Each structure stands twice: as C-alpha cells, then as structure tokens.
A and B are shown apart, each in its own frame.
Chain A
Amino acid sequence: AQKVTQAQTEISVVEKEDVTLDCVYETRDTTYYLFWYKQPPSGELVFLIRRNSFDEQNEISGRYSWNFQKSTSSFNFTITASQVVDSAVYFCALSGVVDNFNKFYFGSGTKLNVKP
C-alpha cells in the first residue's frame, strides 16, 4: 500500500528562521516519484518539486532545499530564512509504478505559519 505521513500538523516560526517539514512514505514499488506541493489560502496547489526514486541527490532551489533518503523513506523539505509569504499548507505526495504513476497519494499536510 502507498502511504505518506506528515507528522507535523502545524508549525509556527518567526520570519528569517529556518524550518524543516518532514515527510515519510511507505511503498512496495521500486520505482516511484515524490512531490511537494504548496497550498496557499487561495486553495490552489502549487507544484514545488518532483524527485524519482533513483535520484537521491539533494536539491536546492533558492531558499528551498529537499533531502531525500531512501534508507529512512523520508523526503524532507527545508525553507531557509523563512518569509511571511511562505505561510501555507505544504503537502508531500507519492506516485508509484503500480498505478502507472497516475495516482497521487498525499499526506495530510503541514500548516506553516511564518510570523513577522
């Protein structure tokens, strides 16, 4: 079964602090993809990153970075020097070969509050 767990329901930080959002996944697939999406108050999910199971290189994009570790089935997301505009709900998602990659399994999300 495919499952994504985001244990942190809500996190509050003060602007400029670094924050890490945790994502742990379960899958029997050997080939799968992991995603992070941002959902601002407007409701529309915004794509942030896609990572396949064969690529464990960490990725950095501006203030955002992602740490993928197959050994611990985790795909954590770090925001450096957080800003108020980062306030949103963040979702981690999994898509596997068993579903022909056409079904996304989302975690329950982590709400990030960045205070000025």
Chain B
Amino acid sequence: GAGVSQSPRYKVAKRGQDVALRCDPISGHVSLFWYQQALGQGPEFLTYFQNEAQLDKSGLPSDRFFAERPEGSVSTLKIQRTQQEDSAVYLCASSFGLGYRDANEQFFGPGTRLTVL
C-alpha cells in the first residue's frame, strides 16, 4: 500500500548544473502529473502523462525542463542548466483514472525541494 514516492527529498544544485528528480507513482495508476510549488504558493501544473505518453506539457516553464515516463510507471523530471528561479518544491502526483469524463483525485508525493545556489 505504498503511496507516491519521490527522490531525492532535497537537492542543492549550483547554478548551471543539471538535475534529475524521480517519481514512483502508486502501482497501477495510469496518470502522472508534475507540479512546481514556489514558497508560499499553491502547486502549479507542469506536465501530465497517461501511461508513457506525455499528453500535456503546457506548464513547463522553458525548454530546460524535460520529463519522461518511458515505461509508463516511474517518471523523471530533468532540469538542465538550473537557474535560481528554478528553486521550488517539485511535486509528483498520480491518479487511477484517465480523466476525460471526470476529475479523479490525485495522490501526491512528499515532493523534492530544489535549491539552486
């Protein structure tokens, strides 16, 4: 009965470094989401996967952000050439359903706190 897990929980990067953040969704969940949460703000949508297909990446702030889910389970969010404004908590969520007909509750992981120096 494991929930959504994310690793690492904390990441400190020097400006210009590349980082990779991992998300393990709940087993059997088809949909996977990434959100960015700045300090004192609500989560903001980044991207969405249905199985291995990335169906919406409209929230990715720049082409330095890239996400993948090659086998339809684990997902990785990669940020290239990190900038200070990338500092935030990155949340991953998964849900059982496909959407389209209704909005299924999303189950969130604990997040990865990224600090770019």
Q: Is B107 an interface residue (CB 8 A)?
A: yes
Q: Is B99 an interface residue (CB 8 A)?
A: yes
CA gap between A99 and B107 in the complex, in Å: 19
Residue of B nearest to A109 (CB): B42
Taking A33-B102, A44-B108 as contacts, is the C-beta distance between A104 and B43 under 8 angstroms?
A: yes
Size category, A interface: 20 to 34
CA gap between A31 and B42 in the complex, in Å: 23
Cβ–Cβ contact A35 & B105, under 8 A: yes
Taking A47-B105, A50-B105, A52-B102 as contacts, is the C-beta distance between A102 and B56 under 8 angstroms?
A: yes
Residue of A nearest to B91 (CB): A45
Cβ–Cβ contact B48 & A103, under 8 A: yes
Total A-B contacts with CB atoms under 8 angstroms apart? 73
Cβ–Cβ contact A108 & B40, under 8 A: yes
Q: Which residues of A contact B35 (CB under 8 A)?
A: 104, 106
Q: Is B45 an interface residue (CB 8 A)?
A: yes
Q: Is B73 an interface residue (CB 8 A)?
A: no
Q: Which residues of B contact A44 (CB under 8 A)?
A: 3, 108-111
Cβ–Cβ contact B110 & A102, under 8 A: no
CA gap between A109 and B44 in the complex, in Å: 12
CA gap between A44 and B35 in the complex, in Å: 12
Q: B residues touching A (Cβ–Cβ < 8 Å)?
A: 3, 31, 33, 35, 40-45, 48, 50, 55-56, 59, 89, 91, 93, 99-111, 113
Q: Apart from A42-B110, A45-B93, what are 19 other A-B pairs with CB-CB below 8 Å?
A: A33-B103, A35-B103, A43-B89, A43-B113, A44-B110, A50-B103, A50-B105, A52-B103, A95-B103, A102-B31, A102-B56, A102-B103, A103-B56, A104-B33, A104-B35, A104-B106, A106-B43, A107-B42, A108-B42
